[in-house]
Amino acid sequence: MRAFFAIISGNDVSLAKAEIDSLIGLTGAEARVSWFGQLVQIESTHDIAHFLLERAALTKEAGSIIGHGPISDTSMGWLSDDALTACVKPTETFSVRTKSLTAERHVEQRERLSASLGARIKNLTNARVSLDNPDVSVLAIIIPDRILVCISKESRLRLELRLRKPGRKPFFHPSMMNSELARVMCNLAGVKPKAVVLDPFCGGGGILCEAASIGARAVGLELNWRLINGALKNLAGSLERETSVVQADSRLLPLQIGQFDCITTDPPYGRASSTRGVKARKLVLTLLENAPEIVRDRGRLCICGSHEMGIKAMIQDLGFTIKYHVLVPVHSGLTRELTAVEF
């Protein structure tokens, strides 16, 4: 078993924890997980850190833990030379950063750690220091009972998601979900490459774009012809991945039994959304009632709605097993409710 770590965004800690739990489950690997605030430590035979950096919207950085020791020993006699020389080669550049995840900032201790660790790596490997774009980023993390020394990489996915935000897409509509949350929903739904994914309220295609970026075969249903055209524009670069949008009523799903691996959707519920005269709650209930026949065995549904819609209660009344349920405050007048169900 190898040791890994990840540091999550502090904006939606509960949601980030659910995302990581779901992604670890997708690997199928045995894993032991422990949390301290925004830090997760994972012991696994699978390179969990690499997978999280590829898939997790709310993971800021991740990597391997190469040593740990008592917080009182800043000389790091507990960290072996072999651990450092295995990670930093003489031909590479490196940087050393420190981070305190305790109530105290530990400024002086972090300065000693950074100087000691940097000098030691330099003496062992003769590698050059680069603060701007190092080949290897060494991170010392202080938590209450110990210091972790890690090899860290920052998430590139988070930058890509910002570049894919609704306002940057070829087509924009106020009801479109932001790319970060759409990716999280795909992860909670268990979307995998080549999986067949349905969004029965696809709108401008925000969720479809994220499913397609994972490598899934995404199918969207939408009544509004303007939104269908918009979704096709947003999916233009993904159409070669068997992504499609169909004009259809979600209450009369033109689908075969067990056709989809998962459903992930954001039904209309805001002022900018149109339900063609049908109340959003009724639309959601109809979808939930039909979902077990549409999704294959052990498939999932991840659905987002306003807290006032009571989606969790609807799911419980239907007797389904809730795998994840997270409340996401948007502003004083809106709290989103994300619920994932496994059939």
- Evaluate if residue 45 carries a pLDDT over 60: yes
> Where residue 203 sits, what CATH number does that domain have?
3.40.50.150
Rg (C-alpha) for the chain, rounded Å, is 23
Same-domain status, 138 and 260: no
pLDDT at 237: 72
Note the pLDDT tens digit of each residue in 298-316: 899 999 998 888 999 999 9
Domain boundary among 129, 155, 181: 155
Contact 300, 343 (CB under 8 A): yes
Structural domain count, the chain: 2
Same-domain status, 231 and 283: yes
Same-domain status, 93 and 166: no
Mean pLDDT of the chain: 92
Domain boundary among 131, 155, 179: 155
Same-domain status, 98 and 174: no
- Evaluate if residue 151 carries a pLDDT over 80: yes
Domain boundary among 122, 155, 188: 155
Task: Give the DSSP letter of residue 250.
Answer: T
Same-domain status, 62 and 124: yes
| Confidence category of residue 242, pLDDT binned at 50, 70, 90 | confident
35: how many CB neighbours lie within 10 A of its CB? 13
Fill in the amino acid letter for 169: K
Same-domain status, 105 and 219: no
Phi and psi torsions of 177, nearest 5°: -75, 145
Lowest average pLDDT, out of 138-142, 219-223, 268-272, 330-334, goes to 268-272
Can you give the residue range of the structural domain that contains 122?
A: 2-155
Same-domain status, 175 and 320: yes
Same-domain status, 268 and 284: yes
